Amino acid sequence: QVHLVASGGGLVQAGGSPRLSCAASGFFSNYAVAWSRQAPGKERELVAAMSRKGDTIYIADSVTGRFTISRDNAENTVYLQMNSLKPEDTGIYFCAVRLSPYNSDLVYKGPHDYNTWGQGTRVTVSS
């Protein structure tokens, strides 16, 4: 099984640029990965995703131009670089892996497309 541990969250000022990390046990280089977030009283939103080979990246409209996703297969880690943070970016951020035996290089844009999730790390953006 794959175990995910997210880190890098905390209290940051608006305009800050933290980087979230998600370390995975075992190999995850053959799987698509993603980040989602959930704010109090709001529906969970997938904000960034990467295809299995990394050839395709999806960034949600709400964070496009500010967030980017990357991965380091040698370290079994996926990153979410967040720039120009706004108070509305506050929430719990979760990383995810889509465990699949297939070799397609598609990008998956929905939270339900992923079947393995980490516990999440909280990001609080102050004005």
Helices (runs of H) and strands (runs of E) counted in the chain: 0, 11
The least confident of 5-14, 19-28, 83-92, 109-118 is 19-28
pLDDT band per the 50, 70, 90 thresholds, residue 57: very high
CA-nearest of 123, 49, 48, 36 to 88 is: 123
Farthest CA pair distance, the chain:
45
* Predicted confidence band of residue 68 (pLDDT cuts 50, 70, 90): very high
Q: Tell me the per-residue pLDDT of 74-88, one tens digit each, with 9 for 90 and over.
A: 898 999 999 999 999
The count of other CB atoms within 10 Å of the CB of residue 106 is 16
Torsion, CA 105, CA 110, CA 115, CA 118, rounded to 10 = 110
Confidence of residue 40 (pLDDT cuts 50, 70, 90): confident
